[in-house]
Amino acid sequence: MLFVVKIYLELLCFLKNSTIDTMYNVKIEQFEGPLDLLLELINKEKMDITNISLAQIADQYLDYLENKEDINIVNLADFLTVAAKLILIKSKALLPLLDLSNEEEEEIFDLEKQLEEYRKFKLVAQEIEKIYNNDRQSFSRDNFIEIEPQFAPPEGIGGKELAEIYNNILGQIPVFEKLEEERIIKVISLRERIDNLKEMLSHKAEINFSELVKKGSNRVEIIVSFLAVLEMVKRRIVVVEQGEIFHDIKFKKII
């Protein structure tokens, strides 16, 4: 449960630091992916890609996710995975004594490198666009234009074979809309989670965070739950408390 504790530490810091004027300073627009958004935030602050800068923009990143009206974005899972890493980075920045596992250290390091890498390709993509759209380009000839067609049928291919091949092609046609639906179903959206928590709190006065995330939770779901709790604290629906540092987080309904 160490991860949950870290989330909680972050939760406290976040609540202390967040003020209204920092909430809406990211223009809500469509970012294709989490790295896109992160880069935009870093560029806006004119910072280099370092742990420190990532820790600084972690709040803005989370704000963006929270305030996104249409939370059922296709790549919510991708956004949330990065959110988890940012929380880790910020926890570490605020609590230097916090001991991270090798795996967690690596994750932080990876995010930094990934961002650097992505930034390079974004820049070079702009160069490519310029070259692609300039007037210089080559043309080739159609193949064998000057040659008259000669009947050369493939051996052993008749109706039965063509039907088989065609059936195969049909089977490989991707169904994009369905794929996207599946992805959305897999991730519980933030709003759903909030409703879900409210529902739970209407039966119970107090819930442990561990209860919330135990059944088949992956990191993404833990993060969604965390964001949901965060949102509810902000809206003063619940209060959060933790007895001691490694104890479970409890939250209670405000009556």
Partner 1 sequence: MEKEKIKSIIESILFARGEEISFLQLAKTIEIKKSEVISAVDELIVQYQEGKKGFGIIKNGENIQMVTNPDNAQFVERTIKKNLQETMSRTALEVLAIVAYRGPVSRADIEAIRGVNSSFTLRNLLMRGLIIKSTNENDQRGYLYNISSEFIKKMGIGKIDELPDYEGLSKDKRVESIINLNVEK
Q: At what angle do helices 34-44 and 76-94 cross, to 10 degrees?
A: 50
Q: Which of 74, 100, 184, 240 is the binder for partner 1 (CB under 8 A)?
A: 74
Is residue 97 a contact residue for partner 1 (CB under 8 A)?
no
Of the candidates 160, 169, 241, 250, which has an alpha carbon nearest to the alpha carbon of residue 208?
Answer: 250
Q: Does 103 contact partner 1 by CB under 8 A?
A: no
Minimum distance from CB of 61 to partner 1 (Å)?
13
Task: State whether residue 119 is helix, strand or coil.
Answer: helix
Stretch that binds partner 1, among 21-29, 63-71, 176-184, 201-209 (CB under 8 A): 176-184
Of 31 and 226, which has the nearer Cβ to partner 1? 31
Residue placing its CB nearer to partner 1 in the complex, 68 or 198: 68
For partner 1, the binding residue among 46, 96, 99, 152 (CB under 8 A) is 152
Q: Does 243 bind partner 1 (CB under 8 A)?
A: no
Which region, judged by CB under 8 A, interacts with partner 1, from 165-173, 222-230, 233-241, 247-255?
165-173
**Are 196 and 213 in contact, with CB atoms under 8 Å apart?**
no
Residue 5 CB contacts under 8 Å (≥ 6 apart), including other chains: 245, 246, 249
* Nearest-angstrom CA–CA distance, 67 and 27: 10
Strand partners, 240: 251
User: Smallest gap, in angstroms, from Cβ of residue 24 to partner 1?
Assistant: 24
27 near partner 1, rule: CB under 8 A: no
Of the candidates 253, 151, 166, the residue with the CA atom closest to the CA atom of residue 204: 253
181 binds partner 1 (CB under 8 A): no
Assess 29 for contact with partner 1 (CB under 8 A).
Answer: no
Specify the stretch interacting with partner 1 by CB under 8 A; choose among 2-10, 13-21, 145-153, 193-201.
Answer: 145-153
Chain centre to alpha carbon of residue 210: 22
Instruction: Tell whether residue 20 is a contact of partner 1 (CB under 8 A).
Output: no
Cα→Cα distances 221→29, 32, 48, 148, 236, Å: 24, 21, 30, 63, 22
140 touching partner 1, by CB under 8 A: yes
Minimum distance of partner 1 from residue 129's CB (angstroms): 5
Q: Whose structure tokens read 């070259």?
A: 131
